Amino acid sequence: MSYIYRYLQSNLSRKIGDFSVLLITGPRRAGKSTLAKKLLHEWGGGSYQSFDTPEEQWVLKNDPQLFVQNLKLPAVLDEIQNVPEIFPYLKSLVDSHPSSEIRLILTGSQSFSMMRNVNESLAGRILIKELLPFTATEALQIDVQEVKANFLSLLKGEELTRLTTTGSPCSVDHAILSGGYPSVWNLSGSEHRNDWYDSYCQTYVERDVRQLVNIKDLALYQKFISLAAHRSAKLINYSELGKDISVSYKTSKNYLSILEASYLWTGLPAYEKKIEARLVKASKGIFIDSGLCSYLNGISDEQALSRFANRDFLFETWCIAELLKLAKTFQNTLKFYHYRRSNSFEVDCVLELAGKLIPIEIKNSAKISKDWAAGIGDFARQTKDAYSGYGYVISRYDQAVEIAPNVKNIPISYLTSCA
């Protein structure tokens, strides 16, 4: 598979402020190692060391001080979470070799202990960037500036344009099933895709989770992951999740925190600031990768997806995950929420930027309806001055048209190049 440009590269250069260390975090197999090597090559080359296997880890664990002393800078240290003993020595290395350029690129796929070590040893010296799986536009190699311009226009309430496509068209359903892991986009056929996800889940549960936290029953945790995937884009009910596999509220909450620390899942809190109306205050869960979510729901092809009872929630999962990934690259101060009144008014996704709110409803339909704007209208009335003055519906309808005052339909193709 030839290298596919990652949009995060557009924000990275060897000289960024006074940082001398770059940490690229994100889920396993999202492309962190490939990006780190690419950056090292573009910045003039250097040394590379992975700590993914026990044999590779032994190189450092045998004598971490000697390893760091012999390290040739600039360098990439891959899967750094597997060797926590290196961090004090990295601190000494950085302090003894002050530089206004990035000379050390670290990657890591788990966030619990790794981030604690980073904050204790490298605070103020390290730039942290999160690399999630491909956006659909990355996988389809759509120009970064076009995608960035459309995303920023969305945030400003400006006109979006159709993205320029050069290769074969990609259907929305194919993009949902493929997700964003780079390896999956190179596979042909649902059977190979399912084999890849099966291997991914086994590796994640049997190796990564063991390193993250002591879970006594890994098979039970694996069942929990599938339950969480089945409830993606729905309100989080810890007790209900736990009840299905006979674990406590506390255990259920802990399991979800592990999924989040692994960059596989995230929660959208309910927006409730200065709203007098009665609200549903539960967060909404989102699986970061729609392909993995589809696999865990037993969906192997587009025909199965069309029959899937929760297909609207899976479409919403994919859309919100695409927005999350674009935000990580182009506007990382963006905050995500959802909104739901107890009287059934709701908005699937609320973006907050500089104190202004942008409500977004998501509809898995190509048949437009004015009713789609009802939740946005209620949200605008409740949030008053904090409301940006514009909102959107993202749908399969292929025209950018106004469906209510200051509420515009945005075809999903304008953000993903998929139709």
Q: Are residues 197 and 72 in the same domain?
A: no
Q: For residue 216, what is the DSSP state?
A: S
Which residues lie across from 211 on neighbouring strands? Answer: none
User: Domain boundary at 100, 115, 130, which?
Assistant: 130
Q: For residue 268, what is the DSSP state?
A: E
Confidence of residue 201 (pLDDT cuts 50, 70, 90): very high
Decide if pLDDT at 99 tops 90.
no
Q: Which pLDDT tens digit goes with each residue over 369-414?
A: 999 999 999 999 999 999 999 999 999 999 999 999 999 999 999 9
What long-range pairs does 160-165 form, CB within 8 A, spacing at least 24?
Answer: 160/400, 160/410, 160/414, 160/415, 161/414, 162/413, 162/414, 163/137, 163/413, 163/414, 163/417, 165/140, 165/417
Q: Which pLDDT tens digit goes with each residue over 218-237?
A: 899 999 999 999 999 999 99
C-beta of residue 392 within 8 angstroms of C-beta of residue 358? yes
- How many C-beta atoms lie closer than 10 Å to residue 365's C-beta? 13
| Domain membership flag for residue 1 | no
pLDDT at position 402? 97
Q: Which pLDDT tens digit goes with each residue over 35-76?
A: 999 999 999 999 999 999 999 999 999 999 999 999 999 999
Q: Are residues 269 and 175 in the same domain?
A: yes
User: Domain boundary at 89, 112, 130, which?
Assistant: 130
Quickly list DSSP for 54-90: HHHHHHHHT-HHHHHHTPPSSEEEESGGG-GGGHHHH
Please give the model's pTM, rounded to 2 decimal places. Answer: 0.96
Across the range 97-124, mean pLDDT stands at 86
Q: Are residues 290 and 364 in the same domain?
A: yes
Q: Are residues 148 and 292 in the same domain?
A: yes
Q: Are residues 212 and 254 in the same domain?
A: yes
Q: How far is CA 138 from CA 134, 165, 396, in A?
A: 6, 12, 20
| Domain membership flag for residue 2 | no
| Domain membership flag for residue 97 | yes
Q: Are residues 75 and 221 in the same domain?
A: no
Strand order in the sheet with 21-25: 47-50, 75-78, 104-108, 21-25, 126-130
Q: Are residues 249 and 360 in the same domain?
A: yes
Give the integer Cα–Cα distance in Å for 419 and 417: 7
- On average, the pLDDT of the chain sits at 94
Across the range 241-258, mean pLDDT stands at 93
pLDDT at position 211? 72
Number of domains in the chain: 2
